[in-house]
């Protein structure tokens, strides 16, 4: 059984616009939209960053393999050449203006969270190590996480969790929400199974779910943050 984090290495994290703040407006400023098609309407066809194994981004992150694709970008597993023992998940945002703007807001929020909770123990948010621009793509660098809770359920034919596991997930998720409310004056508005990630990169095994042969509830969650 893996541990959980709410927020995604596999591009499952909620957009930064899914947070609201009662004390500090973080939403991107909205100007008047021209009539007709939006500026990004011609980019509705999803085109992701073309990556190559072994390529190095930001003179630091050596690409290893694809972790997943999503609406907002592509997530790649990489080796941090400055921290040789560390693998990271590099989220490469699509070259679409509104997605890049949201990702930059997301990065600012995650930096604020990490300043208040460096190890992510209270916020349960996925830890962002770095952010940078590569050509026309904005990139965020996260700790690598496992599959989303939704995908975990889907792979196991949506068989239910044991009650003690649900209690663990709920306790950790509520703790994450409390951290955002009390320390960040923010509200998470899109908490759902797709935005809750297992911490472990190991794929879930059917024998481990639901709990069989004394499977222990060691799962931990991270609140969606990006």
Which pTM value belongs to this model? 0.69
Give residue 17's pLDDT: 34
Give residue 198's pLDDT: 82
pLDDT tens-digit profile of 54-74?
999 999 999 999 998 888 999
Per-residue confidence at 76, pLDDT binned at 50, 70, 90?
very high
Give residue 122's pLDDT: 83
Please report, in range form, the residues annotated as the binding site. Answer: 91
pLDDT tens-digit profile of 13-44?
333 334 433 333 233 333 334 434 444 444 45
Please report, in range form, the residues annotated as the binding site for ATP. Answer: 91
Average pLDDT over residues 160-166: 89
Q: Considering 24, 40, 108, 190, which one is annotated as catalytic? A: 190
Cα separation, 151 vs 147, whole angstroms: 6
Give residue 75's pLDDT: 94
% the chain with pLDDT above 70: 68
Closest C-alpha to 146, from 40, 13, 29, 10: 10
- The dihedral through the CA atoms of 104, 129, 185, 4 has a sign that is positive
Q: Is pLDDT above 90 for 91?
A: yes
* Of the ranges 103-107, 115-119, 143-147, 204-208, the best mean pLDDT one: 103-107
Q: Is pLDDT above 70 for 207?
A: no
pLDDT tens-digit profile of 94-130?
999 999 999 999 999 999 999 999 888 888 888 999 9
Q: Is 6 a catalytic residue?
A: no
Give residue 203's pLDDT: 56
The secondary structure of 27-90 as a DSSP string is SPP--PPPSSS-TTGGG-S-------TT-EETTTEEEEEEEEE-SSEEEEEEEETTSTT-EEEE
Return mean pLDDT, the chain.
76
Per-residue confidence at 87, pLDDT binned at 50, 70, 90?
very high
Catalogue all structural domains in the chain, each as residue range(s) with its CATH number. 55-142 (3.30.200.20), 147-221 (no CATH)
Asked if residue 217 lies in contact with residue 7, where contact means CB atoms within 8 angstroms, the answer is no
Give residue 135's pLDDT: 92
């Amino acid at each position: 059984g893996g541990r959980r984090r709410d927020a995604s290495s596999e591009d499952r994290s909620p957009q930064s616009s899914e947070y609201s703040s009662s004390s500090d407006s973080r939403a991107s400023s909205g100007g008047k939209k021209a009539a007709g098609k939006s500026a990004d309407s011609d980019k509705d066809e999803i085109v992701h960053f073309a990556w190559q194994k072994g390529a190095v981004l930001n003179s630091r992150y050596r690409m290893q393999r694809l972790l997943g694709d999503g609406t907002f970008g592509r997530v790649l597993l990489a080796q941090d050449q400055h921290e040789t023992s560390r693998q990271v998940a590099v989220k490469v945002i699509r070259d679409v203006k509104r997605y890049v703007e949201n990702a930059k807001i997301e990065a600012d929020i995650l930096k604020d969270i990490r300043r208040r909770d460096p190890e992510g123990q209270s916020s349960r948010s996925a830890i962002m190590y770095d952010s940078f621009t590569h050509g026309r793509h904005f990139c965020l660098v996260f700790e690598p996480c496992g599959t989303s809770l939704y995908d975990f359920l889907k792979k196991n034919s949506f068989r239910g969790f044991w009650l003690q596991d649900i209690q663990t997930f709920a306790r950790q998720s509520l703790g994450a929400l409390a951290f955002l409310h009390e320390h960040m004056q923010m509200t998470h508005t899109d908490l759902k199974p797709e935005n809750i990630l297992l911490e472990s990169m190991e794929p879930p095994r059917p024998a481990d779910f639901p709990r069989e042969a004394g499977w222990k509830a060691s799962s931990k969650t991270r609140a969606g943050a990006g």
